[in-house]
Chains A and B, each alone.
Chain A
Amino acid sequence: MNGIIVKNKRIADGHFLLSIKLSGSFQTPRPGQFVMVRDKGHSDPLLGRPFSVYAFERRETKVIVEILYKVVGKGTLFLSMLKRGDSLEIFGPYGHAFDVFPHAEKVVLISGGIGIAPIAFLASNYRRIVDAGNVELIFYCGAKTAVSLVEVEKIKELSSDIFISTDDGSIGYHGVITDVFSKNVSMYDPENSIIYACGPGPMLKRLSDLLVKNPIPCHVLIEERMACGVGACLGCTVRSKDKNGKDAHVRVCKDGPVFNIEDIAWS
């Protein structure tokens, strides 16, 4: 579907917030789902790029889809040069959304870097989705350095329970966010707590190792290079463990991007 850029704002060095206006027939995305974004006028870059939905607003006949992105390669570099009024093709929403747990008392939300995007979307919807006033949202947000802790100010509107870390110690705990979480992990009862996490592969692997001894349910959102985005090309598969514990492959775009943390064969 063709969309028009409403905003393509640099929010920190190399980090952008992109708002796109689309027709009202665009399906409402649920937290965890993603869109494929492509500039139709180019053959290079060729493929659309997948981005988790960060925010969504439905207005009378139009919708606004927002994504956060970091410039990491050719596709995101081109994206960063587009202006308000430029058009983009948006496909989706694709993928499985995060499951929500109406009876959870503590919802732990762990993000690393730009992984904050789907986590923030989930958090901002959680109370409305769950329709329960009692759920406690606790955030653990990590990043390389203070400036890459993007949109954390928005998180503060949702909860006062926020732990922050930076690899270089420029703000918050000096180290990785999973170290902060590991100090508190025994506070979370597996019977009434749920963890959601999104961030770099090494962070999710550390989390996976930590939860072996602390089996709190945990859903992660992962990313992989994609081509089709709909489960046809098998390009975005990652190694997983099937029901018998044997090696298998799952498609991040179609079987995910949300997975049970213990189903992925982390490396």
Chain B
Amino acid sequence: MSLRGAKRRGNLITYTISPFGRNDSEFMKRPSMKRKMNLSTTCKPMMVVNIGGLTLKNPVMTASGTFGYGEEYAPYLDIDRLGAVIVKGISLEPRAGNPPPRIMETPCGMLNAIGLENPGVNIFINEKLPFLRKLKAAVIVNVYGETIDEFKKVAEILSSTAGVHGLEINISCPNVRKGGMIFGADPDMAHEVTKEVKRVTELPVIVKLTPNVTDICLIAESVEDAGADAISLINTLTGMSVDIEQRTPHLGNITGGLSGPAIKPIALRMVWQVVKRVKIPVIGVGGIVTARDALEFLIVGARAVQIGTANFINPRATLDIIDGIENYLTSHNIPDVNELIGTLNEGGKIC
């Protein structure tokens, strides 16, 4: 918040708040904000949330594909403070990924066509997991497959490995056995992959939905029915960008996934819709940059949030968001984050 024109009235200091905020958590920490609070400032609100059997110390996670395998960002922030780290998607065999160029900025966002480059599950376990095991944050592994069998094999291998606390199933990928149709675009395929993965693992299974569908609520209901422990949405929206001088696509893959602030209204709307249709926890992801954004998702009913593109513009985005949520709860006399979740007043403003 940019605070212009502070005026003192008795013991109260009032500010004109600029909507073009710069650093929300700084605003929330102002001494005048704390003086307004009824709660003792030494009593921190409860931030623990339960996601389908997984207990997280706070509702903030990193989104798959934006935080590598933890080590890359470790020099720049205290990762132990996160609720969970969701690592980049892992497949059975190593994948080289798409030809460059793989990214392109667009207004208030970016397209990516990385192509799910990853070292494969065996190298992940041997070379990447040891670092993750040392973290105090929960470790959730995003899983990718081109067939149901591959999903099952990866899930099975990860489930028998120490240090993995949950799985996130990426169903935004094509099913090569069904002509490349996206698993998450068809309720029956989404159902089948969820059910089959649940058969081979005791770990909590989160299913990550693609928004590139006609009705995401149908997919959500279907994976809940199949036994998913939680749902995360949204993955990226398919988009493209063109170089008008070369007359070529900006991405080597032509199309890519759009992420960043531009997609937040869509993600928020879809989370709001899905929460009404399922009973299992919903994790909101899509364009969350600040604590204010995260709070919108919690208010519409998300049990937790994932932070993705924001990490690129502020390596400490996740920690600023945790602090900002805590400060909001304190200043609004809400002792437990779970009391905020799903409290959207759909009747409009409270006068």
Contact = CB atoms under 8 A, between A and B. Distances in A.
Given A227-B112, A232-B67, A232-B72, A41 B96 contact: no
Contact of B97 (A46, A74, A231, A237): A237
A144 interface: no
Interface residues of A, number: 33
B117 A233 contact: no
Given A238-B100, A248-B96, A230 B65 contact: no
A131 to B, nearest CB: 29
Contact of B105 (A47, A224, A238, A254): A47
A44 B313 CA distance: 12
A48 interface: yes
Given A43-B108, A46-B109, A254-B72, A234 B102 contact: yes
Interface string A58-84: 000000000000000011000000000
Given A43-B108, A232-B68, A249 B101 contact: no
Interface string B17-53: 0001011000000000000000000000000000000
Interface string A237-267: 1110000000111000010000000000000
Contact of B102 (A41, A43, A75, A235): A235
Interface in A216-234: 224-234
A231 B110 CA distance: 17
B227 interface: no
Contacts of A232: 66-68, 72-73, 311
A46 B108 contact: yes
A167 B83 CA distance: 56
Contacts of B125: none
B260 interface: yes
Contacts of A5: none
B315 A230 contact: yes
B72 A231 contact: yes
B99 interface: yes
A247 B95 CA distance: 12
Nearest to A230: B72
Nearest to B70: A232
Contact of A225 (B23, B76, B101, B309): B101
B260 A233 contact: no
A139 interface: no
A228 B117 contact: no
Contacts of A231: 68, 72
Given A91-B315, A235-B112, A43 B73 contact: no
Contacts of A233: 65-66, 68, 103, 112, 114, 312
Nearest to A47: B105
A43 B100 contact: no
A112 B289 CA distance: 38
In order of increasing CB-CB distance, the 6 nearest A-B pairs are: A232-B68, A235-B103, A232-B72, A227-B312, A228-B312, A43-B108
Interface of A: 38, 40-41, 43-48, 74-75, 89, 91, 224-239, 247-249, 254
29 contacts: A40-B23, A41-B20, A43-B108, A44-B107, A46-B108, A46-B110, A47-B110, A75-B105, A89-B314, A224-B100, A225-B101, A225-B104, A225-B105, A226-B103, A227-B110, A227-B112, A227-B312, A230-B76, A230-B315, A232-B66, A233-B66, A233-B312, A234-B97, A235-B103, A236-B100, A237-B97, A238-B100, A249-B117, A254-B72
